[in-house]
Amino acid sequence: MIKDHLSRLPARPGVYRMYGSDETVLYVGKAKSLKARVANYTRLGGHTQRIAAMISLTARMEFVVTETETEALLLEASLIKSLKPRFNILLRDDKSFPYILIRRDHEAPQILKYRGSKQDRGDYFGPFASANAVNRTLDTLQKAFLLRTCEDSVYSQRERPCMLHQIKRCAAPCVGLIDPEAYRSLADQAADFLRGKAGDLQAQLATEMDSAAEEMAFERAATLRDRIRALAVVRAQQDINPDGLDEADIFAISVQGGLSAVQVFFIRAGQNWGASVHFPRHEKDQTDAEILSAFLVQFYDKRPPPRLILTNRLPDQDGLIGEALSLKADRRVVIRAPRRGDKRSLVDQATRNAAEALSRKLAESASQARLLGDVQKVFDLSQRPGRIEVYDNSHIQGTNMVGGMVVAGPEGFEKGQYRKFNIKDTTLTPGDDYAMMREVMRRRFRRALKDRETGGQGTWPDLVLIDGGLGQLTAVTETLTELGLTPGEVNLVSIAKGVERNAGREQFFQPGKAPFRLPESSPVLYYLQRLRDEAHRWAIGAHRSRRAADLRRNPLDDISGIGPARKKALLQYFGSARGVARAKLADLRAIDGVSDAMAQRIYDHFKEG
């Protein structure tokens, strides 16, 4: 199949995808010459075990030709992040990084934490490594600059200062306790501080404080003193203050025992804006330069790169990656591995952090492996479980019924594998937990059986843990039997709340065995409680989201023919859905865009209701 493609491929840059027989993407790669790269896969022998396995599983291929190798590199990174192929190096910790935003589209600028696309008008500062890093900085900036954090709707409703003003964290522009021009000056000073002009700003404030003291304006002098102290606290919190380094990201990789950790430091405006550590997924035979190369391109797929990237070792194709990031940022981006000086000291510090994070990860993995071995013994499983699925249901008096599934394995909770099941069966009695669990299991294992029958790589659990007692276990067992599964094909365990719902006195049920308890000091019991509690948290969250969506639903949405334009016109005229419900037929007919027939339909809908 690969040789057949080879005869038609051009010797041009591009991206290729390798698919398995079940249409799952096995690998995404880029090439300077598609013809030359694919030709390598047709050779017999000389491949690593991983590549040989990948070739043997490939059932078909797809190709995209690009103008340059740089474009191919960027497209490859985007596809890897979206498709998550089995044989690629993957950046698993792919959440967006937060920014600080000073909004400028209001008479009183607001300071807040921000994620997402930069749509609001204002000054953006970041990225910060974590929400905690942003929150710490925001907390101190409030003390120093007294900027509001409240929403516009709250701001417009204030008639007297809020608690934040009382504790000296807001200047209370909402009730006019500060002149608008003076308040905007505070916002400008905060922006200057975040741009790295902290030293100049502190000197300016110190001069103003001395002048206020000489004029015997002691209250103003004390306010300025407090602001200077707050700024000093922020600067002291910067555990890296590199001289002469204004903007850079620092990456250090550490590899051990088939795992790797990549430590990242963010330097912006000459300040340390936090650090994060990542554990990319890769095979044991892949080098640190390969891993770092794939990591960097995926890391910046949806993030703006800085002008300078420092690493503890150069990634593969560092020149090509620099070109690709320069194209993305529309300015020159340089990747360097410094050998001496202050920059080398920063990289060494990141390297130590990466090694320590990896050591902790390896220790946690060893501890997790021991726990899973103990779970195997407790439930008499044939092998140590690699995938544990935990199920729970949530509802309030039978409304917004949701089932939740969480997944745990050797590396802890696999949050990307979590699933929620909106209960769809309209015939079941509202609040019937057994029927809800039957539907969840039916949907979950029908899909798993379909994957297995077609030779796919669907996930199959080594252990299914159900939050409930013997009744839930019986319902699940009967459902799986109806699907043609024998008791040995799925290991089932249910965990019932302890006596008087006390944690530590849970009962465990397995098909064909007497219920039993574990010692209250058992590490396995604590581990299973954590799994059960996580499933409960996930199901409750899914239920609340669905309930909130229902609460936000407008009664007008239930009337056929009411689109966004008519809905907006009705709400603007009558003020609310309740106003529409109380309206006379003649008033409804008077609305632009509402025909006589539509007015009658709206009127009848609410009167019949």
Of 307, 235, 218, 294, nearest to 262 by C-alpha is 294
Which residue spans of the chain are classified as CATH 3.30.420.340?
388-550
Determine the pLDDT at residue 473.
Answer: 92
Res. 15 pLDDT band, cuts 50 70 90: very high
The values of phi and psi at residue 92, to 5°, are: -85, -35
Determine the pLDDT at residue 593.
Answer: 82
Determine the pLDDT at residue 324.
Answer: 92
Q: What is the mean pLDDT of residues 68-93?
A: 87
Which class would CATH give 2-83?
A: alpha beta
Res. 272 pLDDT band, cuts 50 70 90: confident
Select from 1.10.20.10, 1.10.3720.10, 1.10.150.20, 1.10.1060.10 the CATH code of 555-608.
1.10.150.20
Q: What is the pLDDT of residues 324-382, one digit of tens each?
A: 999 988 899 999 999 988 889 889 999 999 999 888 888 778 888 888 999 999 999 99
Which residue spans of the chain are classified as CATH 1.10.150.20?
555-608
Q: Residue 202: is it exposed, middle or buried by C-beta count within 10 angstroms (0-12/13-18/19+)? A: middle
Residue 142 has pLDDT above 80, yes or no: yes
Residue 579 has pLDDT above 90, yes or no: no
Of 113, 110, 90, nearest to 102 by C-alpha is 110
Q: What is the pLDDT of residues 36-47, one digit of tens each?
A: 999 999 887 778
Dist. CA 96–CA 116, nearest whole Å: 7
Could you tell me which residue, 257 or 4, shows the higher pLDDT? 4
Q: What DSSP string runs through 119-179?
A: -SSEEEE---S-HHHHHHHHHHHHHHH--B-S-HHHHHH-SS--HHHHTTS---GGGTSS-
State what percent of residues in the chain have pLDDT above 70: 94
Which residue spans of the chain are classified as CATH 3.40.1440.10?
2-83
Residue 93 has pLDDT above 80, yes or no: no
Dist. CA 505–CA 490, nearest whole Å: 26
Residue 297 has pLDDT above 80, yes or no: yes
- Placement of tokens 């969506």 in the chain: 549
Res. 499 pLDDT band, cuts 50 70 90: low
Q: What is the pLDDT of residues 173-182, one digit of tens each?
A: 998 888 899 8
The single-letter DSSP state of residue 493 is E
Amino acid type, 145:
F
Residue 482 has pLDDT above 60, yes or no: yes
Residue 166 has pLDDT above 90, yes or no: no
Residue 12 has pLDDT above 70, yes or no: yes
Dist. CA 518–CA 259, nearest whole Å: 34
Q: What is the mean pLDDT of residues 553-557?
A: 75
Determine the pLDDT at residue 132.
Answer: 78
Which residues 6+ apart lie within 8 Å of 352 measured at CB? none
Contacts 24+ apart (CB under 8 A), 477-486: 477/511, 478/438, 479/437, 479/438, 479/441, 479/442, 479/445, 480/441, 480/445, 482/442, 483/442, 483/445, 483/446, 483/449, 484/449, 485/445, 485/449
Q: Which of 455-492 are b and which e, b meaning 16 or more Cβ less than 10 Å from the residue's Cβ?
A: eeeeeebbbbbbbbbeebbebbbebbeeeebeeeebbb
Q: Residue 243: is it exposed, middle or buried by C-beta count within 10 angstroms (0-12/13-18/19+)? A: exposed
Residue 426 has pLDDT above 70, yes or no: yes
Which class would CATH give 388-550?
A: alpha beta
The single-letter DSSP state of residue 21 is T
Determine the pLDDT at residue 156.
Answer: 84
Determine the pLDDT at residue 239.
Answer: 47
